[in-house]
Amino acid sequence: MSDYFEKVKIELQQMKAPGEAAETEAAGEEQQPSPASDSSVQADVSLTSRRDVSRSSINERSRSKSRSKADGHARQVNSRQVSDLTALRSVAGIYRVSNEQNLQVKGTGKIFKAKSAANGHVESCQRQTEEKCEHRVKEDGNKVGKKRRPVTVDSSKAKTSLEALKLSIRQLKWKEFPIGRRTACDIYWHGVSFHDNENIVSGQVNKFPGMIEMLRKINLSRAVRTMQELFPEEYNFYPRSWILPEEYQLFSTQVRLLKDNDSTLKPTFIVKPDNGSQGDGIYLIRDPADLRVISGSQVKQAVVQEYIQKPLLIDKLKFDIRLYVLVRSLEPLEMYIAKEGLTRFCTEPYQEPSQKNLSHVFMHLTNYSLNVHSGNFVHSDSCNTGSKRTFSSVLYRLGSKGVDIKKVWSDIIALVIKTVIALVPELKVHYQADIPPGKPGPTCFQILGFDILLMKNLKPILLEVNSNPSMRIEHEQEVSPGVFEYVPSVVDEEVKVGVIRDTLRLMDPAQRKQYGVTNLGVGSPEDAIVMDAERDEKEGLADSLPSLCLKQVFPKYTKQFNYLRVVERIATIFLRFLGVKGTMRLGPTGFRTFIRNCKLSNSSFSMASADILYIDITRRCAGTLPDSREAGMGLQAFIEAFFYLAARRFKALPLREQVVSLLEVCESSIDGQGHAEKPRPHRSHTNANPASDHCSAPPTLNSPSVTCRHQSHRRHQPLQPSAKGNTDN
């Protein structure tokens, strides 16, 4: 058990009673833990810094609230904020004692003890890293005093994240360009999409092209489903889903079969419009006949999903977790999770769904935007009460009741990594289409909002991923009857400013250049932390910036998760034959070249069969897949064709092995190494986890539907009868 968990254990033991009393007591204590170090899939890295900017940031913000009409009210808010600062600091695990800071690399036994001196030098570095650290400090010593050009940020398109962004830039002492700049900026902060600002040819943009499209409910479900087909157990954190209207029949049939098999089963389903958000248009049903498939004359695009009937409750209320995840780069894949998040509570006590309560949105939907309109919504400036709380306060409370919060946290990290792995293939196709290699363009990063539900048995379930999570740090409040005003939200500010500020710190172009890093990543998490600490010293920020609130999880946990990156390998082949033309669709010639170069045609699969396969799959996918206006074969269709070819060629194997075997054939043909059908020595992205080398777990209600792709394969059977049944594993 890590030090942190020992500490929590001791703290819990010291409390008089677990539960409510313990929580209240802890709220006023300096050392309430944050999930900062709750984490770990295994070895952990955390930086414990005894510095804090929460106070300055909140006071600053409060001052800038001059537009608040009700001065008296604002003062009241301020005083509440100040009184809550102690709690805030303790929740974030940050507290000022002196300008001393400890940098702890858990799991490696390394501790850097550093004291910032007037010249910004790091005075001492301990244990194994001592020499390395001192060496760096000396090297950089010459540069101290030379003030570096501040990083420039174009905030003209930041929209609702503007307030939090401004605060972050101020804390970093960077330079903001609120109405844009004629010359290039280092960083462009967009409120909606990559395309908010056209014609950016350099710097970094905080959105990936295609992310909005990929995270619409249908596309996310499709991407996760593909992974579920290959890795049913690993991806059973996403509720079974059907895509409407195309799978309406399938949905009806499967529900009927389910009920026929067990008449006591009363499953409930949640219907979500494809491009909906904030709970809009969502409803619960118990019978497929209740689906509202048509709206006016239009067929509604939606996802119908198994409803999780037994969520974990706190104070009898359902809640969900919002976690912020930074995808720093796609190639190589690099991602971070914010150690602090939000929890959003329902405002009506939960009951399992029944015909009577299906329409009770305040009981079933945790959306802030809905519950804020309930008379029971509790706005609170404290992080551990009210209808919106910090995630750490919930973890702390669960810990006090004996829950293994370390496991909860590491399960969540695994869910996040696996989900991003499912998204990457399609994102790479978008990326190449928008920013073709060799052409001038920016690099991208993005903060995503993961919505996660904990089941009663503490298993995390992915609800959705938001490409534009709200970064608002104010909430609307009725200050007097009928008079609404935006007032600072302490909980939101605490979490969101940290996420934006630390994202910026990680994207600082100087960091990358100084350490010879390409635009795509740093060497190791330890290096990142050392770099960060050194840079802050030089910038004179050591006393004002807290430790990074973002925890690197990839490449950190590469070994545990790399074996899942099978579809990404298919995408790499797809991209190769797509060429660099700014397109996302493979034409018939490109597909033929793929078949030929990968040596996939033979006496039983002629080039004519390849043409028929291309036409068949492309036609069927048109109209159901994203951006189907463009002609040709998109990645999803290519993946389908690939699965089909794999099933033909390696009939005896289970699906995942079929696909991996075909990948090896293709990759060795492409590499020009010859030869086929012999397993190649392990590449870095083949299965690194022998324990998970199985893929035939029986589907349960909470496990994937494999029917769709199987069904599509069956549709190809007349083309190649020999493929029959090969994918039913």
Shortest Å distance, C-beta 379 to ligand ADP? 19
Tell me how far, at minimum, the Cβ of 319 lies from ligand ADP, in Å: 8
CB of 364 to ligand ADP, least distance (A): 6
Of 187 and 211, nearer to ligand ADP (C-beta) is 211
SS3 label, residue 186: coil
Size of the site for ligand ADP (CB under 6 A): 20
Rounded Cα–Cα distance for residues 620 and 607 (Å): 20
- Residues β-bridged to residue 480: 483
Binding ligand ADP by CB under 6 A: which of 36, 133, 282, 533?
A: 282
Cβ-proximal residues to 573 (8 Å cutoff; 6+ apart), any chain: 594, 598, 642, 663, 666, 667, 670
H helices, E strands: number in the chain: 23, 24
Cβ proximity to ligand ADP, 228 vs 366, nearer residue: 366
Binding segment toward ligand ADP, per CB under 6 A, in 173-181, 250-258, 269-277, 579-587: 269-277
Report whether the peptide linkage leading into residue 245 is cis, meaning its omega lies within 30 degrees of zero.
yes
Nearer to ligand ADP, 155 or 366 (CB): 366
Cβ of residue 113: shortest distance to ligand ADP, in angstroms?
43
| Contact residue for ligand ADP among 106, 207, 272, 505 (CB under 6 A) | 272
> DSSP readout, 242-284?
EEETTTHHHHHHHHHHHHHH-TT----EEEEETT--TTTT-EE
Amino acid at 87: A
Q: Kindly indicate which of the ranges 73-81, 300-308, 376-384, 622-630 contains the residues binding ligand ADP, using the contact rule CB under 6 A.
A: 300-308
Please say which residue, 282 or 342, places its beta carbon nearer to ligand ADP.
282
| Residue 260 token pair | 């026929």
Binding to ligand ADP (CB under 6 A): which residues in 214-253?
239
Q: Is residue 490 within 8 Å of 88, Cβ to Cβ?
A: yes
* Shortest separation between residue 215's beta carbon and ligand ADP, angstroms: 10
Residues 302-321 close enough to bind ligand ADP by CB under 6 A: 305, 307-308, 320
Shortest distance in whole angstroms from residue 276 CB to ligand ADP: 5
Looking at 105-113, 183-191, 268-276, 637-645, which segment touches ligand ADP (CB under 6 A)? 268-276
94 touches 395 (CB < 8 A): no
In sign, the C-alpha dihedral spanning 169, 90, 532, 495 is: negative
Q: Judge contact between 224 and 419, C-beta under 8 A.
A: yes
* Residues in region 397-456 near ligand ADP by CB under 6 A: 451, 453
Stretch that binds ligand ADP, among 27-35, 122-130, 272-280, 630-638 (CB under 6 A): 272-280
Is the C-alpha dihedral spanning 230, 233, 237, 240 positive or negative?
positive
Q: Which is nearer to ligand ADP, 112 or 283 (CB)?
A: 283
CB of 302 to ligand ADP, least distance (A): 11
Buried b (16+ CB within 10 A) or exposed e, 339-371: bbbbbbbbbbebeebeeeebebbbbbbbbbebb
CA distance 103 to 236: 37
Q: Cα dist. 454→14, 307, 484, 728 in Å?
A: 27, 13, 34, 31
Q: How far is the CB of 717 from ligand ADP (least distance, A)?
A: 34
Does residue 526 belong to the site contacting ligand ADP (CB under 6 A)? no
Query: Nearest distance from residue 308's CB to ligand ADP, in Å?
Result: 4
User: Among 94, 137, 169, 270, which residue interacts with ligand ADP (rule: CB under 6 A)?
Assistant: 270
Whether residue 373 contacts residue 425, with contact meaning beta carbons closer than 8 Å, is answered with: no
C-beta closer to ligand ADP: residue 465 or 662: 465
Looking at the Cβ atoms of 334 and 451, the one nearer to ligand ADP is 451
Report d(CA 172, CA 66) in Å as an integer. Answer: 23
CA-based nearest residue to 364, from 301, 449, 307 = 307
Site string for ligand ADP, 334-373 (x = CB under 6 A): -------------------------------xxx------
Query: Per CB under 6 A, which of residues 459..488 are in contact with ligand ADP?
Result: 463-464
Nearer to ligand ADP, 55 or 459 (CB): 459
- Cα-flanking dihedrals φ and ψ of residue 222, to 5°? -65, -45
Q: Stretches 73-81, 249-257, 271-279, 654-662: which one binds ligand ADP (CB under 6 A)?
A: 271-279
Select 451 or 616, whichever has its Cβ closest to ligand ADP.
451
4 closest CA partner among 27, 33, 41, 26: 33
Q: Are 480 and 372 in contact (CB under 8 A)?
A: no
Binding site for ligand ADP (CB under 6 A): 239, 270, 272, 276-280, 282, 305, 307-308, 320, 365-367, 451, 453, 463-464
